Amino acid sequence: NAGVTQTPKFQVLKTGQSMTLQCAQDMNHEYMSWYRQDPGMGLRLIHYSVGAGITDQGEVPNGYNVSRSTTEDFPLRLLSAAPSQTSVYFCASSYSIKGEKLFFGSGTQLSVL
Partner 1 sequence: AQKVTQAQTEISVVEKEDVTLDCVYETRDTTYYLFWYKQPPSGELVFLIRRNSFDEQNEISGRYSWNFQKSTSSFNFTITASQVVDSAVYFCALSEGRGSTLGRLYFGRGTQLTVWP
Binding site for partner 1 (CB under 8 A): 31, 33, 35, 40-45, 48, 50, 56, 58-59, 88, 90, 92, 97-104, 106-107
User: Shortest gap between Cβ of 101 and partner 1 (angstroms)?
Assistant: 5
Q: Tell me how far apart the alpha carbons of residues 12 and 111 are, in angstroms, rounded to a whole number.
A: 5
Q: Tell me how far apart the alpha carbons of residues 108 and 11 are, in angstroms, rounded to a whole number.
A: 7
User: Shortest gap between Cβ of 82 and partner 1 (angstroms)?
Assistant: 23
Which amino acid is present at 94?
A: S
Helix (H) or strand (E) holding 88: strand 87-94
Of 89, 105, 102, nearest in space to 21 by CA: 89
Using the minimum distance from each CB to partner 1, give the nearer residue, 17 or 65.
Answer: 65
Using the minimum distance from each CB to partner 1, give the nearer residue, 26 or 56.
Answer: 56
User: Shortest gap between Cβ of 20 and partner 1 (angstroms)?
Assistant: 21
Using the minimum distance from each CB to partner 1, give the nearer residue, 46 or 78.
Answer: 46
Using the minimum distance from each CB to partner 1, give the nearer residue, 34 or 78.
Answer: 34
Instruction: Give me the half-sphere count of Cα atoms (radius 13 Å) on the Cβ side of residue 65.
Output: 9
